[in-house]
Amino acid sequence: MSETPASPRYEPIALSGESTVVAEFLPDPQDAAATGYQSEAELERALIRQLQAQAYERLPITSEADLIANLRRQLERLNKVTLSDAEWNRFFTASIAGANDGILEKTARIQEDHVQVLKRDDGTSKNITLIDKANIHNNALQVVNQYETEGARSNRYDVTILVNGLPMVHVELKRRGVDIREAFNQINRYSRDSFWAGSGLFDYVQLFVISNGTLTKYYSNTVRDGHLAESRGKRSRQKTSNSFAFTSWWADAANRPITDLAGFTRTFFARHSILNILTRYCVFDVDRKLLVMRPYQIVAAERILQRIGTATNHRQLGTIAAGGYIWHTTGSGKTLTSFKAAQLARGLPAIDKVLFVVDRKDLDYQTMREYERFEKGAANSNTSTAVLQRQLEDPNARIIITTIQKLSRFVVKNRKHPVYDAHVVVIFDECHRSQFGDMHTEITRVFRRYHLFGFTGTPIFAENSASGGNPLRRTTEQAFGDKLHTYTIVDAINDRNVLPFRIDYINTIKAGTAIRDKQVSAIDTERALLAPERISQIVGYIREHFDQKTRRASSYRHDGKRLAGFNSLFATASIEAAKRYYLEFAAQQTGLPEAQRLKVGLIYSFAANEDDEGGLLGEEEFETEGLDQSSRDFLDAAIKDYNALFGTSFDTSAEKFQNYYKDLSQRLKKRELDLVIVVNMFLTGFDATTLNTLWADKNLKAHGLIQAYSRTNRILNSVKTYGNIVSFRNLEQETNDALALFGNKDAKGIVLLKPYGEYYQEYQKRVEELLAGFPLGSAIIGEVAQKAFIKLFGSILRLKNILVAFDDFSGNEILSERDFQDYQSLYLNLHAEFRAASAADKEAINDDVVFEIELIKQVEINVDYILLLVERYLKKKGTGEDKEIRATIDRAVNSSPSLRNKKDLIEQFVDTVSTKVRVDAQWQAFVAAKKAEELERIIAEENLNAEATRSFIDSAFRDGSVPATGTAITRILPPVSRFSKNNGHAAKKRTVLDRLAAFFERYFGLA
More confident residue, 379 or 821: 821
Residue ranges of alpha helices (H) inside 396-483 are 404-413, 436-446, 476-480
**Rounded-to-integer distance, Cα 723 and Cα 712, Å:** 5
Indicate the range of 113-117, 296-300, 510-514, 800-804 predicted with least confidence: 510-514
Q: List phi, psi (to 5°) of 56.
A: -85, 135
Among 677, 672, 749, 747, which Cα is nearest to 706's?
A: 747
More confident residue, 531 or 287: 531
More confident residue, 428 or 632: 632
Measured CA to CA in angstroms, residue 471 lies from 83, 437, 474, 478, 592 at distances of 69, 11, 6, 9, 56
What single-letter amino acid sits at 930? K
**Rounded-to-integer distance, Cα 20 and Cα 303, Å:** 11
**pLDDT above 70 (res 610):** no
**pLDDT above 50 (res 237):** no
At 451, the pLDDT band (50, 70, 90 cuts) reads very high
Query: Hey, what domains does the chain have and what are their CATH numbers?
Result: 38-292 (3.90.1570.50), 295-487 (3.40.50.300), 494-751 (3.40.50.300), 756-857 (1.20.58.2040), 863-916 (no CATH), 930-1003 (no CATH)
Calculate mean pLDDT across residues 211-230: 74
pLDDT for the residue numbered 721: 85
pLDDT for the residue numbered 794: 87
| Length of the chain, in residues | 1007
Contact 831, 851 (CB under 8 A): yes
pLDDT for the residue numbered 979: 45
**Rounded-to-integer distance, Cα 193 and Cα 127, Å:** 34
pLDDT for the residue numbered 842: 39
SS3 744: coil
Indicate the range of 53-57, 788-792, 885-889 predicted with least confidence: 885-889
Q: Over the range 923-937, which residues count as b (16 or more CB within 10 Å of their CB) and which as e?
A: beebbeebbeebbee
Indicate the range of 4-18, 549-563, 892-906 predicted with least confidence: 4-18
Its pTM stands at 0.75
Contact residues for 505 (Cβ-Cβ < 8 A; gap 6+):
727, 729, 730, 731, 732
pLDDT for the residue numbered 576: 94
What single-letter amino acid sits at 307? R
| DSSP notation for 18-77 | S-SS-SS----HHHHH--S---HHHHHHHHHHHHHHTTPEE----SHHHHHHHHHHHHHH
**Rounded-to-integer distance, Cα 947 and Cα 895, Å:** 37
pLDDT for the residue numbered 753: 77
Count Cβ atoms within 10 A of the Cβ of residue 18 and give its class: 0-12 exposed, 13-18 middle, 19 or more buried.
exposed
**Rounded-to-integer distance, Cα 466 and Cα 432, Å:** 11
> Taking CA 664 as the corner, what is the angle to CA 376 and CA 330, rounded to the nearest 5 degrees?
65
**Rounded-to-integer distance, Cα 859 and Cα 897, Å:** 10
Contact residues for 568 (Cβ-Cβ < 8 A; gap 6+):
546, 549, 550, 674, 675, 676, 691, 692, 693, 694, 695, 724
> Taking CA 93 as the corner, what is the angle to CA 87 and CA 97, rounded to the nearest 5 degrees?
135
**Rounded-to-integer distance, Cα 526 and Cα 538, Å:** 15
Contact 213, 220 (CB under 8 A): no
**pLDDT above 80 (res 227):** no
Bridge partners of 325?
A: 454, 483
Indicate if the alpha-carbon torsion angle 584, 587, 592, 593 is positive or negative: positive
DSSP state of 861: P
pLDDT single digits (tens) 274-306 = 999 999 999 888 778 898 999 999 999 999 999
Among 170, 198, 205, which Cα is nearest to 186's?
A: 170
Q: Over the range 885-897, which residues count as b (16 or more CB within 10 Å of their CB) and which as e?
A: bbebbebbbbbbb
> Taking CA 866 as the corner, what is the angle to CA 865 and CA 872, rounded to the nearest 5 degrees?
95
**Rounded-to-integer distance, Cα 901 and Cα 334, Å:** 44
More confident residue, 885 or 756: 756
- Quote the mean pLDDT of the chain: 82
Calculate mean pLDDT across residues 480-490: 91
**Rounded-to-integer distance, Cα 389 and Cα 414, Å:** 9
More confident residue, 253 or 613: 253
Measured CA to CA in angstroms, residue 667 lies from 286, 547, 673, 691 at distances of 21, 19, 6, 11
Contact residues for 634 (Cβ-Cβ < 8 A; gap 6+):
579, 582
**pLDDT above 80 (res 226):** no
Measured CA to CA in angstroms, residue 346 lies from 338, 544, 671 at distances of 12, 53, 37
> Which residue pairs, CB below 8 angstroms and at least 24 apart, start in 573-578?
573/526, 573/529, 573/679, 573/697, 573/698, 573/699, 574/526, 574/679, 575/604, 575/627, 575/631, 575/679, 576/530, 577/526, 577/529, 577/530, 577/679, 577/697, 578/602, 578/604, 578/677, 578/678, 578/679
Indicate the range of 391-395, 649-653, 860-864, 980-984 predicted with least confidence: 980-984
**pLDDT above 50 (res 552):** yes
pLDDT for the residue numbered 616: 67
pLDDT for the residue numbered 417: 92
Contact 413, 370 (CB under 8 A): no
At 507, the pLDDT band (50, 70, 90 cuts) reads confident
**pLDDT above 60 (res 520):** no
pLDDT single digits (tens) 328-345 = 988 888 888 988 898 899
